[in-house]
Every structure is written in C-alpha cells, then in structure tokens.
C-alpha cells in the first residue's frame, strides 16, 4: 500500500527500514534511489548485506542532519508512535521531503476501545501485542488526533487510506469518524 | 611518460631490492611527469608499485582500488616476496571472496612514502644517487591519492567502480571521494576517520621518537652507514600494535599467562606471554619495513584532516557527491572509534548522499578489519552487489 504512493524513480528516504523489505521492493519495482534509517544495528546490517543503503539512526535525533527537500518521498512506517517527539519528527519529515508518507496504528480502533471500556485494561491485541510496561510505542494517537496534528503543522493531507490489520484497504468509503473506529491503521500522503 | 616492467624475484638481497625494483608491477614516471605534492615540491622521476587481480572488462567499469593501511603493501591477495606470507587481505580479496576477483578487476598499490617499490625514503634519490632518507619531501594522504590517480590514469581507467580500504586505507578512500568524486562510483572506508585525532597523533609520536632515539637511526642516514635502527622501529611497532587490539582481546589471548615458565623470574625477561608476543611482533616487523618509511607514513596520517581542506567543513568535502558510500566500524576499536565514522555519516547525510553505515560487533579492536569477521564479509558482499546492480555490471551473486 505504501509502495503504491511512491512515484517511479523517486529519491526516497525510508525511516524505520527494519529488514529492508519495503526499501528492497521499492528499489526493484519502483526503481527508486532509496536510503534507509533503522534503529537496530542488526536490522541495518541485514539491509546493507542485501545491497540496500541503510544507516543506523534514530528518527528523533538524526533527521536534522538532512538538507531541506532532500528527498522526493520520505516514508515513516509504523514508527511515529515509538518516537519521543512525534511533532518534531513530523515537522522534520515535512522539511526534508517534498512528500511524506506516514502509516500509523489507530489507537481508537473499536477493539482497543472495548478493552479499555469493558476490561479496564490497556489494550493488547494481535496487532499491538505489547503490555503497557514493555511497549516501545510511547505516543499512540487516533486517526483523528493525527489529522489534527497535520493541520497544526500546516500539512495538507493529499491522500488518506484506512487499512485493516493485515494492511488491506478497507473497500468502503465512509466518513472519518467511522474510520476512526473501524480502521486498525491508516496511511497518509502529506505535503506542505 | 611511463613504462611497465615486471622484475623477476632474486633470492639475494631480496628486501633491499624490493624498494627499488619490486617483484610486483611497476609504473614509472619520468622527470617531466612529476607528482606535485602538498608540501609545494615536485617529485620526479617517481614510481608506483602495484599488483592487479582479475580482468578489466571491456567497458573498464569493474575496477576496484584497494588502499592499504600504515604498514600494508600492494600484495593484498598474493604472496609478499619479503615475508613469504599470503596477501594481507586474502580473506576479502580473491576468487569467490567478498571482493570477488572473478568479477572485479582489483588494483592495489604501495603507498607513496612506502618501502616496497613506490617512491619513498628508502628509494634512491636520482639527483644524488644515494638513498633519499629525510631528503624526501613530507608526504600527505592526498599525495598518496594523487599518485594512485596517476596510476589509474596509466591503466586507462576513468572511473573506479569502488575504492576500498581500512584504517589509513579508509582515509585514502575518503580523500579519493573528496578529490575525485566523479571517478569513484562507490567508496568503502572501514575503521577509518576523516581526521587523525590528538590521541592518534600522540601514539604515532611515541613510535617516531622510539625510532629517532635509536643510535642507529643517525638522523635518517642509516643507509649510508649500512646500519638499521631496528630496536627503535621494533619498539614503535610494539606500541602501535597495542593500539590495534582491544583490552578484551589481549585479555582473552594472553591474560596474565606466563611465557614458557611456571614462575615469575624477578627479572626483566619476557615473563608474560603478552611481552613475548609484542617482542616477536616488533622483531618480525623490522625485517619487512623501513624505519624512515614509518616516519613518513605516520606523518601523512597525522596531517590528515579532510575538513580542513574544505574550509573546516566536512560537509563541503562531499558537496554534490554521487558516490555511494558504505562505512564500517567495529565496537571495540578505540583507535578509530565508531564516533569518527559517524561524523562522516553525518556529513554525508547533510548532502543527502547515498550512504550505508554498519557498526560491527567485534571484540578484536581496530585490527578487526583484517580478521575473519563474517559480518564484515556479508556487508562488503551485499554493498558491492547493490552497487554493481546500480552500475549495470554483473554482480557475483547474480551472475549465472
């Protein structure tokens, strides 16, 4: 889904590359000039060993090194909720990329709401499997929260795609408040 | 003006002859084709000794220049004629190895200021007919790279597919990328830095002072008297060798183990294995390296500060670079620590360069880049494969 938002031959920075699956796909299928940043050294080493240009780095600390508008597309997949300063990170993304693709889990998904409402416990689902005390996800938000942040940062939401847990596009059109309940995650294409 | 010659091995006085007439290939440049040095002087005639492995393809796009470290040489993957030992990087360079000579054409030259065939302080000064000694102008890393660029010209190669090296070799890689960005498609500086730190300079100064304190050094004119400052050079090597290892690796290898004895002797013999090991390292080193060469090459490293050449900004050194970079560092390397590589990465990010950076977990210190470290091999293979794909030349993994 993220890949479909990236134009052919674009200069791309993928933040949170993990084992490089997305970057590899983009390099092969979309012929991008791709770079990656990955937090875990083991992940970086795996990426470089498969021929991808990836450095060890931290979205909170290392984005300030890059020049303005250095990339056609900057991608942040399922990582924003794990950053220390999501607003600062978002603002850096919008500075270094002409377009920004962000995917986030939706904390306001109905299953999470139910767990909080009926069990009175922090939600633990297959998709968000951590307990509150060991989760790397320290800044959850709902889709509506995220859209509000974009507005605050003067970012235009070019596209927004609601997804199921498996990453499939939810094939019905619905108003945002519905998606904020039924979508487990969403992908946003932003510009400033 | 240059010519290629290959000299046959002679068993007599092999070492002395290697600095003048090396067993390897040799490119010679006449007085009217001098090398202009950072010191402002011109060096000529001069020569550069080198080895090649593999075959240059028809498009001349598969050439890799390997740059050696302080005491390395051109024999990266072939037997060193002085020591009779295998090439210093045979783990990495060869058929089917990470730098696969079945696919890449590998060039490795002896550095300017070295003592295995490239013009250095042990070479004969053509204007006096006697050995240069300290009459050779001081050499810099950029001078070494200029000499290599002349060799690459001589070989008819306009763009190198990759320039690769560890430690001082990595300094040369960074200098190549800064001086000749359009001639370097990919650059792999390993366990390197864009400058020599105060601590690095300090260790080198200890080594140089050990050489100069040897009465046989004779202000660098030992060749005239046919003596060698071997004790001083051995001490220099011993001190340096410690900096190439980590506390952890020394502890694992030697601990406080005694050498061929059960008890302390209450004397100053080599009671401990580590002492015996270092003495051996020092003694074998003097058989293959020239003391003045050690002064020149360490000086070149000390003078290296790439940012300074670009108005104090490392970012400017890489402005508009199209080169693909892959940096590697090792966790236990305290001589060229990860932080040094990382500052190069930061400068490359500032120009949005194509850069990979891998810090490899190894407890074997700075020398890790020369050792059997699988992650180093995997990174090298993977990076070169990706770069070959981008360059449009067949990569080993994808070849049929």
- Nearest Cα of chain A lies from the Cα of B373 at a distance, in angstroms, of 13
Q: How close is the nearest chain B Cα to the Cα of A152, in Å?
A: 27
Query: What 8-state DSSP symbol labels residue B91?
Result: T
Question: Based on the domain organization, do B184 and B214 belong to the same domain?
Answer: no
Task: State the Cα–Cα distance between residues B108 and B53, nearest whole angstrom.
Answer: 9
Please report the domains of chain A, with CATH numbers, ordered by start residue: 3-191 (3.40.50.150)
pLDDT tens for B319-367 read 999 999 999 999 999 999 999 999 999 999 999 999 999 999 999 999 9
Does residue B366 have an active-site annotation? yes
In this prediction, residue B228 carries a pLDDT of: 96
Interface contact B352-A54, CB threshold 8 A: no
Q: How far is CA A127 from the centre of its chain?
A: 15
CATH for B364: 3.40.50.1820
Contact B43, B35 (CB under 8 A): yes
Best of A23, A43, A45 to mutate (most B CBs within 10 Å, chain B): A45
B80-90 pLDDT, tens digit per residue, is 999 999 999 99
Q: Which two tokens stand for residue B247?
A: 């506390």
Among residues A39, A30, A86, the alpha carbon closest in space to that of A62 is found at A39
The helix, strand and coil proportions of chain B, stated in percent and rounded to the nearest 5, come to 40, 20, 45
Report if residue B394 sits inside a domain. Answer: yes
Q: Which of the residues B338, B386, B391, B398 would you substitute to probe the A interface, choosing the one with the greatest number of A C-beta atoms within 10 Å?
A: B386
In DSSP notation, B117-173 reads SSS-TTSB-TTTSSB-GGGSPP--HHHHHHHHHHHHHHTT-SSEEEEEEETHHHHHH
Q: Are residues B293 and B174 in the same domain?
A: no
- Looking at B293, B362, B366, B367, which residue is catalytic? B366
* B188 and B215 share one domain: no
What is the distance between the alpha carbons of residues A44 and B275, in angstroms, rounded to a whole number? 39
Whether residue B96 sits in one domain with residue B232: no
Indicate whether B397 pLDDT > 70. Answer: no
8 Å CB contact between B292 and B138? no
Say yes or no for a CB contact (<8 Å) between B324 and A48.
Answer: no
pLDDT tier, B15 (very low <50, low <70, confident <90, very high otherwise): low
The answer to whether residue A35 neighbours chain B at the CB level (below 8 Å) is: yes
DSSP result, A1-60: --GGGSPTT-EEEEES-TTSHHHHHHHHHS--EEEEEESSHHHHHHHHHTT--EEE--HH
To the nearest whole angstrom, how far is the Cα of A192 from the nearest Cα of chain B?
A: 20
Would you say A74 and A155 are in contact if contact means Cβ atoms under 8 Å apart? no
| pLDDT tens track for B97-140 | 999 999 999 999 999 999 999 999 999 999 999 999 999 999 99
pLDDT (0 to 100) of residue A24: 95
**In a shared domain, residues B285 and B317:** no
Cβ atoms of B93 and B101 closer than 8 Å: yes
* Same domain assignment for residues B281 and B313: no
Of residues B7 and B187, more confidence is placed in B187
Contact B130, B224 (CB under 8 A): yes
Report CB contact under 8 Å: B375, A45.
Answer: yes
Phi-psi region of B392 (alpha: psi -120 to 50; beta: other; left: phi over 0): left
CA distance A184 to chain B (A): 33
Evaluate if residue B12 carries a pLDDT over 50.
no
Q: Which residues of chain A are within 8 Å of residue B386 when distances are taken between CB atoms?
A: 50-53
In this structure, are residues A34 and B348 in contact, taking their beta carbons and an 8 Å threshold?
Answer: no
Q: Which of B298, B318, B344 corresponds to the end of one domain?
A: B298
For B395, nearest residue in chain A (alpha carbons) = A51
Q: Residue B66: exposed, middle, or buried by beta-carbon count in 10 A (0-12, 13-18, 19+)?
A: buried
Among residues B129, B108, B365, the alpha carbon closest in space to that of B240 is found at: B365
**Whether residue B251 sits in one domain with residue B125:** no
Q: Do residues B272 and B179 both lie within one domain?
A: no
B304 occurs within a structural domain: no
Residue B336 lies in a domain: yes
Cα–chain-centroid distance for residue B3? 24
Q: How confident is the model at residue A176 (pLDDT cuts 50, 70, 90)?
A: confident
B-chain residues near A65 (CB < 8 A): 346, 349-350
For residue B364, what pLDDT is reported? Answer: 96
Same domain, B223 and B315: no
Domain-embedded: residue B12: yes
According to the model, what pLDDT value does residue B2 have? 45
pLDDT mean across residues, chain A: 92
Q: What is the CA radius of gyration of chain A?
A: 16
Structural domain total, chain B: 2
Confidence of residue B395 (pLDDT cuts 50, 70, 90): confident
Q: Determine contact: A48 vs chain B, CB below 8 A.
A: yes
- Residues B229, B136, single domain; the answer is no
Q: What is the CATH number of the domain that holds B217?
A: 1.10.1740.110
CA distance B191 to chain A (A): 15
CA distance linking residue B165 with residue A183, whole number of Å: 51
Domain containing B138 equals 2-195+309-398
In this predicted structure, the answer to whether residue B6 has a pLDDT above a threshold of 70 is: no
In a domain? residue B303: no
A13, A44, A48, best to mutate vs chain B, most B CBs in 10 Å:
A48
Q: Is B23 a catalytic site residue?
A: no
Q: Name the residue in chain B with its Cα closest to that of A49.
A: B382
Q: Is the pLDDT of residue A117 over 50?
A: yes
- Asked if residue B313 and residue B349 are part of one domain, the reply reads yes
Q: Which of B350, B352, B389 sits opposite A51 (nearest CB)?
A: B389
Are B319 and B370 in the same domain?
yes
What span, in angstroms and rounded, lies between the C-alpha atoms of B136 and B129?
Answer: 13
A21 at B interface, C-beta within 8 A: no
Q: Select from B267, B298, B329 the last residue of a domain.
A: B298
Chain B partners within 8 Å of A66 (Cβ): 349-350, 352
């Amino acid at each position: 889904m993220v890949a479909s938002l990236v134009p052919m031959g674009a200069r791309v920075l993928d933040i949170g590359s993990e084992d490089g699956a997305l970057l590899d796909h983009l390099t092969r299928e979309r012929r991008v000039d791709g770079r990656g940043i990955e937090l875990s050294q083991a992940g970086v080493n795996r990426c470089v060993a498969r021929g991808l240009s990836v450095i060890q780095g931290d979205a909170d600390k290392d984005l300030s090194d890059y020049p303005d508008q250095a990339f056609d597309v900057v991608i942040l997949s399922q990582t924003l909720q794990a950053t220390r300063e999501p607003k600062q990170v978002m603002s850096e993304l919008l500075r270094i990329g002409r377009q920004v693709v962000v995917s986030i889990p939706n904390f306001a998904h109905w299953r999470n709401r139910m767990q909080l409402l009926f069990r009175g416990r922090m939600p633990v689902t297959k998709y968000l499997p951590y307990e509150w005390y060991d989760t790397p996800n320290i800044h959850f938000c709902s889709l509506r929260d995220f859209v509000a942040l974009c507005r605050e940062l003067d970012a235009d939401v070019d596209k927004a795609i609601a997804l199921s847990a498996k990453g499939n596009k939810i094939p019905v059109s619905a108003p945002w408040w519905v998606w904020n309940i039924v979508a487990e995650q969403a992908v946003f294409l932003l510009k400033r | 003006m240059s010519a290629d010659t290959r000299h046959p091995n002679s068993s007599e006085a092999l070492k002395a002859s290697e600095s003048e007439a090396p067993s390897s290939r040799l490119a010679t440049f006449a007085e009217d084709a001098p090398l202009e040095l950072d010191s402002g002087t011109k060096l000529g005639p001069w020569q550069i000794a080198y080895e090649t492995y593999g075959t240059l393809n028809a498009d001349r796009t598969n050439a890799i220049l390997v740059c050696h470290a302080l005491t390395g040489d051109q024999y990266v993957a072939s037997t060193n004629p002085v020591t009779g030992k295998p090439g210093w990087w045979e783990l990495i360079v060869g058929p089917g190895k990470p730098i696969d000579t079945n696919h890449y054409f590998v060039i490795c030259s002896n550095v300017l200021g070295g003592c295995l065939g490239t013009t250095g302080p042990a070479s004969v000064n053509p204007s006096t007919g006697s050995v240069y000694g300290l009459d050779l102008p001081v050499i810099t890393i950029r001078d070494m790279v200029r000499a290599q660029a002349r060799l690459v010209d001589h070989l008819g190669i306009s763009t190198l597919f990759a320039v690769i090296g560890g430690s001082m070799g990595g300094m040369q890689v960074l200098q190549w990328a800064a001086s000749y960005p359009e001639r370097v498609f990919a650059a792999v500086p390993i366990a390197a830095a864009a400058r020599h730190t105060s601590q690095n300079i300090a260790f080198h100064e200890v080594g140089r002072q050990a050489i100069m304190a040897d009465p046989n050094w004779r202000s660098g004119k030992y060749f005239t008297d046919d003596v060698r400052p071997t004790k001083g050079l051995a001490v220099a090597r011993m001190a340096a060798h410690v900096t190439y290892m980590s506390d952890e690796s020394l502890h694992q290898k030697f601990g406080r183990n005694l050498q061929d004895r059960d008890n302390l002797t209450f004397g100053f013999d080599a009671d401990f294995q580590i002492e015996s090991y270092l003495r051996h390292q020092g003694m074998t080193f003097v058989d293959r390296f020239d003391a003045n060469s050690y002064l020149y090459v360490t000086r070149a490293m000390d003078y290296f500060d790439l940012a300074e050449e670009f108005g104090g900004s490392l970012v400017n050194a890489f402005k508009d670079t199209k080169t693909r970079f892959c940096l590697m560092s090792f966790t236990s390397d305290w001589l060229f620590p990860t932080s040094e590589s990382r500052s190069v990465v930061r400068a490359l990010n500032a120009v949005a360069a194509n850069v990979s950076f891998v810090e490899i977990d190894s407890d074997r210190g700075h020398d890790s880049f020369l050792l059997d470290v699988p992650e180093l091999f995997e990174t090298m293979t993977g990076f070169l494969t990706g770069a070959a794909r981008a360059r449009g030349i067949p990569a080993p993994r994808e070849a049929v």
